Amino acid sequence: MKEQLADAFVALDRERCLALVRESIDQGVPATEIIDQSRIGMGRIGDKYAAGEYYLSELVMAGHIFGESMKLLEPLIDGDATSKLGTVVVGTVAGDIHDLGKNIFCSLLRAEGFDVVDLGVDVPPERFVEAVTESGARVVGLSCLLTVAFDAMRRTVEGFEAAGLRDRITILIGGSIVSERVCAEVGADGFATDAVIGVRECVRIVGSLAEAGEEVAS
């Protein structure tokens, strides 16, 4: 059944995925094992997207299916952090209300094994700072799809500096309009133009922190 669930995710078969999740729960399969198989399926979907075999619509659908699956599993998860890679704070910056890319990014992060603090859209700098302080996150994702929101990204980075948090976090910016130039202008550490690349960068970052002996998972 494990392989069937991963295959159902890759096939984007919502009804089959949810039925297999429910059946696994009924059989007493640990939630972590069910999530791991979901992650495998989501990972394969990400590979297909990167290879140009799947497109944005498939990523959106996969994110919805994963979200529905997680809702079934959440009551069975009791603070199990054994498979967690760390915490990522994510939000669309002030002045921008676009959230499609952000939502896909959050779904893929959770599928990869991260805890995600999703702040939503039109998020002011002080809310990002507050979320990092509360969660202890080492990675922050700032999303925007409007050039007029670049200043909000810069002000958010400055907010972390003012709070004395800048040196302990890695800030990634995301969106189809960001670039290396924008990254430098707003003072971020990296950028990604799609969700799959962004998640892979988060994995790389926490891996580097772990190798350096720094704590990444709360």
Provide the 3-class DSSP secondary structure of residue 146: coil
Whether residue 175 sits in one domain with residue 98: yes
Taking only the tens place, the pLDDT of each residue in 4-19 is 999 999 999 999 999 9
Q: Give me the pLDDT at residue 1, please.
A: 61
Range of the domain at 157: 86-211
In angstroms, how far is CA 214 from the centroid of its own chain? 21
Whether residue 171 sits in one domain with residue 100: yes
Whether residue 142 sits in one domain with residue 123: yes
What confidence tier does 36 reach under pLDDT thresholds 50, 70, 90? confident
Taking only the tens place, the pLDDT of each residue in 145-173 is 899 999 999 999 999 999 999 999 999 99
Q: Give me the pLDDT at residue 217, please.
A: 57
Contact 122, 95 (CB under 8 A): yes
Cα(first)–Cα(last) distance of the chain, in Å?
Answer: 32
Q: Is residue 65 part of a domain?
A: yes
What confidence tier does 77 reach under pLDDT thresholds 50, 70, 90? low
Look up the pTM and report it: 0.74
Taking only the tens place, the pLDDT of each residue in 106-141 is 888 887 889 999 999 999 999 999 999 999 999 999
Whether residue 69 sits in one domain with residue 95: no
Picking from 76, 109, 132, the residue at the C-terminal end of a domain is: 76
Distance in angstroms (rounded) separating the CA atoms of residues 165 and 10: 39
Residues in the chain: 218
CATH code of residue 67: 1.10.1240.10
The phi-psi region of residue 124 (left if phi > 0; otherwise alpha if psi is between -120 and 50; otherwise beta) is: beta
- DSSP symbols for 93-130: BTT----HHHHHHHHHHHHHTEEEEE--SSB-HHHHHH
Domain count, the chain: 2
Strand partners, 115: 87
Whether residue 101 sits in one domain with residue 71: no
Which residue bears the tokens 């984007």?
12
Whether residue 91 sits in one domain with residue 25: no
Q: How many CA atoms lie within 13 A of 175 on its CB side?
A: 23
CATH code of residue 131: 3.40.50.280
Q: Is residue 216 part of a domain?
A: no
Q: Is residue 81 part of a domain?
A: no
- DSSP symbols for 147-206: GGGHHHHHHHHHHHHHTT-GGG-EEEEESTT--HHHHHHHT-SEEESSHHHHHHHHHHHH
Structural Rg of the chain based on CA atoms? 17
What confidence tier does 79 reach under pLDDT thresholds 50, 70, 90? very low
Whether residue 183 sits in one domain with residue 106: yes
Distance in angstroms (rounded) separating the CA atoms of residues 22 and 39: 17
